[in-house]
A = this chain, B = another copy of it.
Amino acid sequence: MEFPEDIEQRSIRTIRALALDQVQAARSGHVGFPLGAAPLIHTVYAHYLRSDPTAPEWLNRDRFVLSAGHGSAMLYATLHLAGYAVSTDDLRAFRQWGSITPGHPEHGPTPGVDATTGPLGQGIANAVGMAIAERMTGARLTAADGPLLDHRTFVLASDGDFMEGIALEAVAFAGLHRLGKLVVLYDDNDIVIDGRASHVHDAAAVARAAEAHGWHTVEVADGDDLPALRAALDAAVAETERPSLVRVRTVIGRTSPLADDPRAHSGALSEADDAATRAALGPDHAEPFHVPEDVAAWWGRFAERGGDARAEWLRRMAADDPAIATFHEWVAGGADPGIDVREFEGATEAARMTSGKVMARLAETMPTLVGGAADLVAATMADLPNGGTFSPDEPAGRNISFGVREHAMGAIVNGIALHGVLRPFASTFLVFTTYQANALRMAALQELPVIHVLSHDSITVGEDGPTHQPVEMLSTLRATPNTVVLRPGDAREAAECWQDALARTDGPSILVLSRSPLEPADRSDSWGETRKGAYIVSGTTTADLVLVASGSELAPAHSAAELLRAEGLRVRVVSAPSHELFFAQPDEYRDTVLPPETPRLVIEASHPLSLWRLAGPLGDVVGVDRFGASAPPERMLAEYGFTPDQIAARGRAHLARLADRGQGAPVAEPVA
């Protein structure tokens, strides 16, 4: 087919029009950014991105992350043209219930969307994770004819992305690691929601700062200048030693009457502005959702290029080569990680120590496990011994030293998980989830099986004081949908919780680990395990009171039970490492472990807020409802009411209060 000379301009106009059509149909969304940045996304997809729209999860595809996720309409338009399974009807359903074209791009429902984006800055850090995963996997798995993975990661980002600290952390980190296959396009339209970006932001300084951190930077003075865009992107992909930042000056709302106006940022256009924009886009777009035939045909090149590349890769992957066999094993996953929890039975040690030992084992048995800490390996023990440390000189290193960059770390491991080959972990103190909260949320939303290893889990942090002592964090994590929190009560449970975390494939697992040694639980009556979330540790017989505890509170709860038993009370001790796993059990199991008619006392050195559901109608809680303090751990526990005596007293008082109300009744033996 012969294409007119202006076919690329026609394609760009079509992207602009389809984006406008979606926003106008939904009467909601962002049209100004797509109108300005259409040439950028057109150029990346049409000329650079190597991906097969018929196999959107192909592992060696180039990745594309629209970090400025509010430009979703532009991405959907491009995916539609490029041949992904995003139909005109899908575009018409933009932002509607059940559509594959939601308000911000979501990885999962929409073929071709490589990351869920919207919260600014996350996408840049996700892309850094993808570039790390590509380099690390390629370096570790090289066949006779080269690395098995060899692709680029492209990002389209906005002013807002580059104001966010997470992006600045990621920029510093990517520069340090010389991620040469990372190409970030910066749509510099000098408009933010509240006005001109330059009033709050220095775009040129962002580029100079990136250069200082080792980036290759290129500038394009006009986003509609296609030869200049091509030249800049040619330079970016030719540069292999440094990540590239291509800063492109664009005009928000271009072709509309709201060009270069903050009002173009959000919302549908007025009828008059819509009409004027359509007129500017030409007769092809007088009617909504129209794709000119020649434009559609011209885009065939995308599927062809990607299909050829994929076929070539599949051909390579059919060879008989140990690296290829290993790759297939990695991708299939599911190899037994070989943790024998009985090894840890009876040990008195901090949960972080046990976790470190388990990780040392996993370093040998689970080659896909990679990750690191935000400068706290020495404290959290989250290390893969002999795994090497990822760096430009050691691209196969499995330990990643993130530096003190918690937010970027959280989003980078999300990117590694999104990449699809490796199983990442990230580690810091529990209290510093406050620095990466949005990344943790995005892991849950995207159903990414990342593992967070979070130590120093309560006021028992001790002398470091309240700034380092978590109080509210367990409530946050337990209130985050699709997140499983695991807080082991002794060494054996810590090993089991690692098993539970590894078994999870559709969302993050959060290991919450003690700084101080944990006594082994008395398992004389034990009949459960952590994968059910909570189980009876002692006192299977008829109970007057159930003490429910997790983590470092399990041992004092046990001692309190002994005190109360000595007084003739029948006391059950339940270990509850994971609320989420427990509430996912059948009613029968739950009612057996925690009989509805038996009084309970839930003991955990965290805010009571997340304990009330577990306490139930006849329950009370012993928690921490104020900030911590600076003192040795033992003193902290005594001041905050967690000694066995104090717990026993709370139990007695609770039973007395219930008796006053005529409540509280023993229950029969549990089913075995």
A residues contacting B by CB (< 8 A) are 26, 28-29, 69, 95-99, 102-104, 106, 116-120, 159-161, 163-169, 172, 175-176, 192-195, 199-202, 204-205, 208-209, 212-214, 262, 266, 373, 375-379, 389, 391, 401-408, 431-435, 437-438, 441-442, 444-445, 462-468, 471-472, 475-476, 478-482, 607-610, 612-613, 617-618, 625-627, 629-632, 635-636, 639
With A163-B404, A165-B405, A404-B120 already in contact, the answer to whether A630 and B463 are too (CB < 8 A) is no
For the complex, give the distance between the alpha carbons of A467 and B202 in Å: 27
- Between A and B, 18 residue pairs with Cβ closer than 8 Å are A96-B635, A97-B639, A99-B630, A102-B630, A104-B465, A163-B169, A165-B165, A165-B408, A176-B202, A192-B403, A194-B378, A200-B403, A205-B214, A208-B208, A437-B476, A445-B467, A471-B481, A480-B607
| A205 close to B175 (CB less than 8 A) | yes
A165 partner, pick from B168, B204, B607, beta carbons under 8 A = B168
Residues in B neighbouring A438, C-beta threshold 8 A? 432, 434-435
Residues in B neighbouring A431, C-beta threshold 8 A? 119
| B466 close to A445 (CB less than 8 A) | yes
| B200 close to A209 (CB less than 8 A) | no
Residues in B neighbouring A195, C-beta threshold 8 A? 401
Residues in B neighbouring A116, C-beta threshold 8 A? 467
What 4 A-B pairs have minimum CB-CB distances, sorted nearest first? A165-B165, A102-B630, A118-B467, A475-B479
| A479 close to B476 (CB less than 8 A) | yes
Shortest Cβ gap from A210 to chain B (Å)? 8
With A432-B119, A630-B96 already in contact, the answer to whether A164 and B165 are too (CB < 8 A) is yes
List 18 extra interface pairs beyond A103-B467, A168-B172, A432-B438, CB under 8 A: A96-B630, A97-B632, A104-B467, A119-B467, A164-B406, A165-B405, A175-B205, A176-B202, A192-B404, A194-B378, A200-B375, A209-B209, A434-B438, A434-B441, A435-B438, A475-B610, A481-B627, A609-B609
For the complex, give the distance between the alpha carbons of A476 and B437 in Å: 11
| A472 close to B463 (CB less than 8 A) | no
Residues in B neighbouring A479, C-beta threshold 8 A? 471-472, 475-476, 607, 609-610
Residues in B neighbouring A608, C-beta threshold 8 A? 613
With A403-B201, A404-B164 already in contact, the answer to whether A630 and B172 are too (CB < 8 A) is no
Shortest Cβ gap from A232 to chain B (Å)? 20
**Nearest B-chain residue to A69, judged by Cβ:** B467
| A200 close to B476 (CB less than 8 A) | no
| A200 close to B176 (CB less than 8 A) | yes
| B103 close to A465 (CB less than 8 A) | yes
A96 partner, pick from B262, B464, B631, beta carbons under 8 A = B631
For the complex, give the distance between the alpha carbons of A165 and B166 in Å: 5
Residues in B neighbouring A613, C-beta threshold 8 A? 608-609, 612
| B205 close to A97 (CB less than 8 A) | no
With A106-B465, A480-B472 already in contact, the answer to whether A375 and B192 are too (CB < 8 A) is yes
Residues in B neighbouring A389, C-beta threshold 8 A? 199
Shortest Cβ gap from A643 to chain B (Å)? 14
| A212 close to B209 (CB less than 8 A) | yes
Residues in B neighbouring A160, C-beta threshold 8 A? 375, 404
| B209 close to A208 (CB less than 8 A) | yes
Residues in B neighbouring A192, C-beta threshold 8 A? 375, 403-404
For the complex, give the distance between the alpha carbons of A209 and B213 in Å: 8
| B376 close to A193 (CB less than 8 A) | yes
Residues in B neighbouring A627, C-beta threshold 8 A? 444-445, 481-482
| B202 close to A164 (CB less than 8 A) | no
Shortest Cβ gap from A507 to chain B (Å)? 11
Residues in B neighbouring A201, C-beta threshold 8 A? 172, 176, 403
For the complex, give the distance between the alpha carbons of A212 and B213 in Å: 12
**Nearest B-chain residue to A429, judged by Cβ:** B119
| B194 close to A629 (CB less than 8 A) | no
A202 partner, pick from B172, B612, B631, B632, beta carbons under 8 A = B172
Residues in B neighbouring A97, C-beta threshold 8 A? 629-632, 635-636, 639
Of A95, A106, A403, A442, the most chain B CB neighbours within 10 A belong to A403
With A202-B213, A625-B481 already in contact, the answer to whether A378 and B28 are too (CB < 8 A) is no
For the complex, give the distance between the alpha carbons of A466 and B169 in Å: 25
For the complex, give the distance between the alpha carbons of A435 and B441 in Å: 11
For the complex, give the distance between the alpha carbons of A192 and B405 in Å: 12
| B467 close to A472 (CB less than 8 A) | no
| A630 close to B119 (CB less than 8 A) | no
Shortest Cβ gap from A365 to chain B (Å)? 24
Shortest Cβ gap from A631 to chain B (Å)? 4
Shortest Cβ gap from A189 to chain B (Å)? 14
For the complex, give the distance between the alpha carbons of A214 and B630 in Å: 39
**Nearest B-chain residue to A464, judged by Cβ:** B103
**Nearest B-chain residue to A161, judged by Cβ:** B404
With A475-B479, A482-B627, A631-B96 already in contact, the answer to whether A194 and B376 are too (CB < 8 A) is yes
For the complex, give the distance between the alpha carbons of A213 and B206 in Å: 8
For the complex, give the distance between the alpha carbons of A158 and B636 in Å: 29
For the complex, give the distance between the alpha carbons of A29 and B401 in Å: 23
Residues in B neighbouring A630, C-beta threshold 8 A? 95-97, 99, 102-104
With A176-B201, A200-B176 already in contact, the answer to whether A194 and B631 are too (CB < 8 A) is no
For the complex, give the distance between the alpha carbons of A324 and B262 in Å: 40
**Nearest B-chain residue to A401, judged by Cβ:** B200
